[in-house]
Structure 1
Amino acid sequence: MATLPDLKGSSFTLTVLHLASNDVAEAKSFLTEKVEKAPAFFANAPIVLNIEKVDGDIDFAALKQAVNDAGMIPVGITGSKNKRTQTLATDAGFAVMTASKTPTQAPAEMKAPKVVRTPVRSGQQVYAKDSDLIVLSHVSAGAEVIADGSIHIYGSLRGRAIAGASGQSESKILCHDLQAELVSISGHYWLSDQINSEYWKKKVMLSMADEQLQFEILAQ
C-alpha cells in the first residue's frame, strides 16, 4: 500500500534578523558582511525578519531580493500586528510567523557524550546528536563542532562551536583557549569581532541568560 504524505508539527532553530528601519540597502549590507565572515554558518541559511521596531512601509519585494543577494533564504516575517503590512509581506512571498513563548525543552533522553580525541581540522564538521560533545584536542580555524547539548573543548577553539543546536538554551560551551570564529547557543551567536578582548585566549564558559550569551572566565 502506498504511503501518503503527512503534515506534522516540528521545531527548528532559525536565524532572526531584527530590523531597525525600512532601509533595505542597510539590511543587505549587514547580512552580506555576516555571511562573508562566517560563510559556512550563514550561507543558504533560512532567515526570519523581525519588523517589530520598523516604522513606515517596507518594500518587501526588494527586501526579499536583498536577502537572496546576501546568500541567505528568506522564510518569513514576525513582529507585525498590522494586517496591511502582513498582506504586503505575503504578497511578496513571505510567511507571517508568530514567535512562540514556550521555551524549547531538551530531549527526554540525552545520549552519552560523543568524545573526539583528535584535533578537528579545517573543513571538518563534528555533530553530537542528542548529546554533549567533548573534544580532547583543538578545533582549528575553518572547522565546526555542533552539539544538541553542551560542548567541552580541552584545547583551543579557533573554529565554530554551535551548542544547543536543537534549541536547548540551557546548553553551554566550555573551552581552554577562546579564539573562535563563531560561538552559538540555541541560535544566539557571536562572531569573533563581537567577543570582548578580555575573554580572548582565555579559559571560558559560555551560557545563556535572558536571551543573551554570557561569558565567564574560568580559573586556570
Structure 2
Amino acid sequence: MSLKVDRDSMAFTFKGGMLPMTVMELSSADPERIREQLAGKLSQSPAFFQHTPVVLSVEKLDEPHLALERICAVCRAHKLLPVAVRGGPDPVKQSAWALGLGWFPPQESARARTLESVPTTGAEPEPVEEAMAVPEAGLPQGGRIFRGTVRSGQQITAPEGDLVVVGAVNAGAEVLAAGNVHVYGALRGRALAGIHGDTQAGIFCRELHAELLSVAGNYKRLEDIDPQLLGSSVQVVLSDDQLGITSLA
C-alpha cells in the first residue's frame, strides 16, 4: 500500500512558522479595573488595538477562580482578541478550554512581548524613555522612528507601517512592524516584519547578530543564519515562503 498522498486532494498541510503574539500580563483579576485601563490605552493608541490577538497571562494572580469570560469580553470590547491563557491552576485551564481558548503552562523567564501589566495602583507606569517614537515626514503612513538603543526586555512596535530604529537592538529586545524593519545599528534581538501578513515586507540592518528574524510569520533563528553573514549589513526578504538573507555590502 502506498503512503504517498496526492497533493491535489489535500485539504491542508502543516507548516513550520511563527506568528507574533502579544502577552497581556495581568496583575489584577478585576474586569472593571482592566476595562478602565484599556479604555485609556485605546484613547492613546487606537491604531494598536486593531483586533490584536493576545495571550492572557495570569501567572501573577493567586486566584483559583477567575471571571475569565468577563475579562475576555472586556478585551473584545476594546478590539483585543484573547486566543489563549498562560498559567493558572487547573480550574483556570478548564475555564479557558470551555471558552474555546488555548492554554499554555507558566513561563518562568518569559521574554514574550507584553502589552502591559495592569498595575496594582491606579497610576500609569512611567515610560522607559520620553518621546521614544517621533513621526517622520519621509516615513509611510503609520510609520515610526525610534532613536536610541532598544534594551533587553523592551518592545518597539509600528502596527501600521515601517519601523526605523536609529540605534542598536540589544539581545532580548524585540522590534516589530506591519511593514519593513530598518535597524541603523547592531541587531542582536528579535526583528519581525510584516506582522499582519505582508509578504512584501523586509528587514534591513547594519550589523546582523539577530536571535530571530521573521517576515510574515516565516522565521530563522540565529543558528539557522549563515555565519559568514553575521556582523555584516544585510537585507532579509521573503521568496517562495523562504527567508532569504543577502549582504548589502
In the aligned structure 2, how far is the partner of 1:135 from the partner of 1:201?
17
Q: 1:193: which partner in 2? A: 223
Q: For the residues of structure 1 that align with 2:14 and 2:229, how far apart are their CA atoms? A: 26
> Counterpart of 2:228 in 1: which secondary structure?
helix
2: CA distance between counterparts of 1:190 and 1:135?
Answer: 21
**CA deviations over 1:101-120 (Å, ceiling 9, x no partner):** xxxxxxxxx62420001110
- 1:123 paired residue number: 153
1:217 aligns with 247
Question: RMSD of the alignment, in Å?
Answer: 3.1
TM-score by length of 2: 0.46
Letter in 2 for 1:200: L
Is 2:192 the partner of 1:162?
yes
- Give matches, 1:20-35, under 5 Å: none
Q: Structure 1 residue 207: deviation in Å?
A: 0.2
Q: C-alpha displacement at 1:18, in angstroms?
A: 3.8
Tell whether 2:230 aligns with 1:204.
no
Q: Which residue of 1 aligns with 2:117?
A: none
Distance (Å, rounded) in 2 between the aligned partners of 1:190 and 1:213 = 7
The two structures have a TM-score, normalised by structure 1, of 0.52
Question: 2 CA distance for matches of 1:70 and 1:191?
Answer: 23
Is 1:139 the counterpart of 2:172? The answer is no
Code of the residue aligned with 1:198 in structure 2: it is Q
Deviating runs (4+, > 3 A) in structure 1?
16-19, 44-47, 67-71
Query: Is 1:181 aligned to residue 211 of structure 2?
Result: yes
Structure 2 equivalent of residue 148 of structure 1: 178
| Gapped regions of structure 2 (runs ≥ 5) | 1-12, 24-54, 57-82, 85-102, 108-139
> 1:101-155, CA deviations, whole angstroms, 9 ceiling, x for partnerless residues?
xxxxxxxxx6242000111000100000111000010000000000000000000
Unaligned runs of 5+ in 1: 1-15, 20-33, 35-39, 48-66, 72-109
Taking a change above 3 Å as real, the CA distance of residues 123 and 17 of structure 1, as seen in their structure-2 partners, is farther
- Partners of 1:157 and 1:202 lie apart in 2 by 10
Aligned residues: 128
Tell me the equivalent position of 1:5.
none
C-alpha separation in 2, matches of 1:17 and 1:180: 26
Distance change (3 Å), C-alpha of 1:69 and 1:113: closer
CA 1:142–1:17: 2 relative to 1, 3 Å: farther
2:246 match: secondary structure: strand
Alpha-carbon shift at residue 159 of structure 1 (Å): 0.2
Measured after TM superposition, the shift of residue 68 of structure 1 is 5.5
Kept in 1: contact 2:142–2:159 (CA 8 A) = no
Deviations 1:14-33 (A, max 9, x none): xx9648xxxxxxxxxxxxxx
Partners of 1:17 and 1:157 lie apart in 2 by 30
1:28-67 Cα distance to aligned partner (Å, 9 max, x none): xxxxxx9xxxxx99xx6979xxxxxxxxxxxxxxxxxxx9
Name the CA shift for 1:124/1:17 in 2 (closer, same or farther; >3 Å).
farther
What fraction of aligned residue pairs are identical, expressed as a percent? 37
